[in-house]
A and B are shown apart, each in its own frame.
Chain A
């Protein structure tokens, strides 16, 4: 199943400058793994080496932050949009 993944500016360079790409999967984990497979430059910026969600990004299915859902097991349905934004924090 294909879903649209919207990319933050900092990741677009790894996808030929595109602001959104298509990735395959029925869960956020599968979608992000497919994204990294297609655009290896994003490896390490979206998922950690352990395969968990990187703390420097926030991932949403439509309006919902997946950290408040089932994290990487969050289901994605056809027509939904996955958005990735940088986690913005400091001191």
Chain B
């Protein structure tokens, strides 16, 4: 399970919408044990593509340090799919960096954004529940 405060949920979806027509991405800071997210770190998409994303390494370093200074860790990544389902693509699965992370997908294909979250262990993808909590 991943728990997103409502302001973080809004930041994720807002960053994804602002990134159109390209995919957008960012990192999530929180508690690795409970899956509680406390902070959203929007990052630049170095790939600048509607089909691929690459988290800017400098943005990642700054997010990692900020999370650590707040007693948190980076516990996941989010990115948008502009024309497909909110489900990890084969590229997402092949390049998933950490089996401990949460992988949040936002589909912008339909009228309303759809947000879902997954755990990825090797080539196995497990959807998890998303709880949007009051801030």
Contacts and interface: CB of A to CB of B under 8 A. Distances in A.
Nearest to B54: A89
Contacts of B58: 63, 65
Contact of A9 (B79, B88, B100): B100
Contacts of B57: 58, 60, 65, 67, 85, 87
Contacts of A8: 97-98
Interface string A69-91: 00000000000000101111111
Contacts of A1: none
Interface residues of A, number: 17
Interface in B83-109: 88-92, 95-100
A10 B95 CA distance: 13
A56 B95 CA distance: 8
Nearest to A89: B54
Interface of B: 25, 27, 32, 47, 51-55, 57-58, 60-61, 64, 73, 77, 79, 88-92, 95-100
Interface of A: 8-10, 56, 58, 60, 63, 65, 67, 83, 85-91
